Structures are given as structure tokens and as C-alpha cells.
A and B are shown apart, each in its own frame.
Chain A
């Protein structure tokens, strides 16, 4: 299994739809995980942290499944402005200082 693996997409959804992305990781020692968002030709920015109990922030919900070694990101009531690439991020070796980025899942929200 690759260190971090994501479906590249693209996910093309209409406004208002609910969409979910999964990300699998190989290092079972990893304790915390992150979702970053990257707009076209921009730098990545932190969207959410994912802890063992999951995390919800408005329309966004991130969850962790340790047994199956995957994390998910759910976006409800998607907006045009949600169009971006979503990067799954896992610490290598359990260390916060060395973060491994997935290649990202591209989301395109259409009117």
C-alpha cells in the first residue's frame, strides 16, 4: 500500500450535492491526519484536522477509520467555491514534523 493514496477524480457534482472523498494510508502508527485544500495555481492551505473522534466544521466532516486505515472528507450542500483539489495529509512515522501529502482529489462543483 502506498503511504497515502487518493482517488484523483475529478468529481463533477452539481451545486447542493453531497460529496465524499476517501484517503487510505499505510502507516498504522500515525496519530493525526489532515485535509488541505489547494485552489488552481495556488498554495495548499489547511482545511481540517482529523482526530480519532472525527471533526466537523460547518458543511465539512472529516472522519477516521483506524481499523481500515482510511480517512474521509464529506462536503454537504456543495458550493461553486468548493471547487478545488483536496489533499489528504499523513505524518510520516507518526511525527508531526514530516507530512506526506496525497496527490489530491479534484472536485468541480457545477451550477
Chain B
């Protein structure tokens, strides 16, 4: 049963520390998204890639966030330095390049920055 895999599931860190979240999209899915979800803002698109090329990262604070896809099986989202306002659930999702619009989400990485 193919699924998107994210690590870590939960992360508690202190302000100022670097945080790296990883995502393995479903094999064959060529579009990969990073979303952040909070109670106040809901699901916000941070960045997305198609065929590993970044298409849009306008939703991401560029001074501290960076997203990369070093290869087709790995997407990373890095926060450096982390701040308490970064506390949220970060979802990775992948999409097979079709017209179904069905995003497959990972289980999310719950980040708490103290």
C-alpha cells in the first residue's frame, strides 16, 4: 500500500535550533508539496516541486526556511533558526501528474518550538 512517509512524527526543540523534516513521496508521483497546518491559519502551502524543480515557494519565510529535493525519493524542509511561532504540523503530500487533484498526504510532523 503506497504511502507518503514523513519523519520525524514529533519533534520538540528549543528556539534557535535547526529542524529538518524529511519526506519520501509515493514512487512515481512527480509533484511534492509542503504544507503547514495551525489552528489559526489552517493548511498553508509553503512550497512545491515538480520533477524535483521548485515551482513555488512564495508561502515560505525565506530567511529561515528552505526546501529541497535532492532526489526523487526525498524532499526536505529545514528551519534554521527555529522560533516558537513555527510550532505547527508540517505535512508533505505528493501528486501523480494527473487531473484527479488527489493529494496523498503523509501523517505529518508535529513540531513544537519552546
Contacts and interface: CB of A to CB of B under 8 A. Distances in A.
Q: Do A and B bind each other?
A: yes
Interface of A: 32, 34, 36, 42-46, 49, 87, 89, 91, 96-104
Nearest to B56: A98
Given A99-B33, A104-B42, 10 more contacts: A44-B103, A46-B102, A89-B101, A97-B31, A98-B48, A99-B45, A99-B103, A101-B43, A103-B41, A103-B43
9 contacts: A34-B101, A42-B107, A43-B107, A44-B105, A45-B105, A46-B101, A89-B101, A98-B48, A99-B45
Interface of A is mostly: strand
A32 B100 CA distance: 9
Interface in B44-70: 45, 48, 50, 55-56
Contacts of A46: 101-103
Interface of B: 31, 33, 35, 41-43, 45, 48, 50, 55-56, 91, 95, 99-103, 105-108
